[in-house]
Structure 1
Amino acid sequence: MSSIGPTSDASVLVRDATGDDLPAMAAIYDEQVRTSVATFDTEPRGAAYLSEKVAATDEGNVVLVACADDALLGYAYSGPFRPRPAYDGTKEVSVYLAEGARGQGLGRTLYAALLARLDAAPGVHTQVAVIALPNDASVALHLSCGFERVGVLREVGHKFGRYVDTAWYQRMSPHD
């Protein structure tokens, strides 16, 4: 796959993920599984889970990584919202960052590249993001990228001995 090209920060490169990125991506994800409610997985999933996302070739299924100095700092992806055909134009999006890369605008850089790709995909109409609460940084990121809050599901997850609410955010592609 082709490279997206340098971001506004010349030291960070955002590009399509490859199979070689899977171990670093899995390390980021599995750290979030063990330490946060950013994912409702409760056991690390390893590279096999992410390999399915990287291998997907359907329109609007995109996996991007952000790298600097040969280190993978984070990744963002879009994938199916629901498995039924009428949902094909809706993609769920997520971003995960390595612990040392958070709070530096990298999530916005990844989302800018991801959303530009989705906006260019003629079959993609809507993007949806689910944020476990509380998560002020993720809420701010999504609002800054054009998402709007459309609802909250109360106590739908249970992790680390407590119930967790999720906020749902939605963004419409501008080409429709």
Structure 2
Amino acid sequence: MTFAIHDATAADAAACAAIYTPYVERTAVTFESVPPTAEEMAGRIAAAQERHAWLVLTDDDVVLGYAYGGPFRTRPAYAWSCEVSVYLAQDAPRRSGAGRALYEALVPRLAARGFHTLVAGIALPNDASVGLHASLGFEPVGTLRQIGWKHDTWHDVAWMQRRVGDETGRPGGSTVHHPDERTRR
């Protein structure tokens, strides 16, 4: 397969919503219970593009998946950390490299924007997602036991993280600014 990856726009919102809907309705991969509309997804894409990133992967102009970064927590100390996620269409070929390709494009974008640590929360069981993240350098940092209730059962969430930033000097990069930081000239 030949993949193309581009920054998501509002034009990709309906396809992203269609990919996400079966995860919301039929799985515990996400703890959302109502699938977002295309308009809501367009808003999510726009918000992610402001400070993080949202990418879509296509094959012959058909959107097969997407990955994005978003806020991890709202407190100022977390400004240089972000949560990442990847979703593939239910009919996309598995083990095709699509998820890896999305993350391999997403991670450098987030690093270039000054992020220091990427985190992924993975509802369990999900061996494919745990394996993908581990293969990309994410390390397990803990599991929250029976933290989410969906489809009449409790679910654990494993957390994995990967450092992408430099440990020396002040955090931040060209476009990430601490929420409390004032512009100095």
TM-score above 0.5, yes or no: yes
1:4-30 deviation digits (Å, cap 9, x = unpaired) = xxxxx6x21011001110000001111
Q: Which moved more, 1:89-98 or 1:79-88?
A: 79-88
Matching residue of 1:53? 44
Matching residue of 1:41? 32
Deviation at residue 58 of structure 1 after TM alignment: 3.8
Matching residue of 1:4? none
Alpha-carbon distance between aligned partners in 1 of 2:24 and 2:45, rounded to the nearest angstrom: 19
Distance 1:93 1:135, change over 3 A: same
The reply to whether residue 87 of structure 1 matches residue 100 of structure 2 is: no
Alpha-carbon distance between aligned partners in 2 of 1:65 and 1:97, rounded to the nearest angstrom: 10
Matching residue of 2:61? 70
2:125 aligns with one of 129, 134, 137: 134
Number of aligned residue pairs: 165
The reply to whether residue 159 of structure 1 matches residue 145 of structure 2 is: no
Matching residue of 1:3? none
Q: Which moved more, 1:135-144 or 1:96-105?
A: 96-105
Alpha-carbon distance between aligned partners in 2 of 1:49 and 1:103, rounded to the nearest angstrom: 30
Distance 1:83 1:49, change over 3 A: farther
Alpha-carbon distance between aligned partners in 1 of 2:121 and 2:73, rounded to the nearest angstrom: 13
Alpha-carbon distance between aligned partners in 2 of 1:119 and 1:72, rounded to the nearest angstrom: 25
**Matched residue type, 2:58:** C
Deviation at residue 174 of structure 1 after TM alignment: 4.3
1:138-166 deviation digits (Å, cap 9, x = unpaired) = 00000011100000000011111110000
1:34-83 deviation digits (Å, cap 9, x = unpaired) = 11111001121222332233212443x10000011120000000011112
Matching residue of 2:134? 143
Structure 1 gap ranges (5+) = 1-8
Structure 2 gap ranges (5+) = 168-185
The reply to whether residue 107 of structure 1 matches residue 108 of structure 2 is: no
Matching residue of 1:170? 161
1:98 aligns with one of 89, 98, 106: 89
1:102-122 deviation digits (Å, cap 9, x = unpaired) = 332211110010011112222
The DSSP-based 3-state class of the residue aligned with 1:116 is: helix
TM-score, structure 2 normalization: 0.85
**Matched residue type, 2:12:** D
Alpha-carbon distance between aligned partners in 1 of 2:40 and 2:166, rounded to the nearest angstrom: 32
Alpha-carbon distance between aligned partners in 1 of 2:117 and 2:38, rounded to the nearest angstrom: 28
Root-mean-square deviation over aligned CA pairs: 1.3
TM-score, structure 1 normalization: 0.89
Answer yes or no: is the 8 Å Cα contact 1:128–1:171 preserved in 2. yes
Alpha-carbon distance between aligned partners in 1 of 2:35 and 2:81, rounded to the nearest angstrom: 27
Answer yes or no: is the 8 Å Cα contact 1:30–1:46 preserved in 2. no
* Higher RCO, 1 vs 2 (CA within 8 Å, ≥6 residues apart): 2
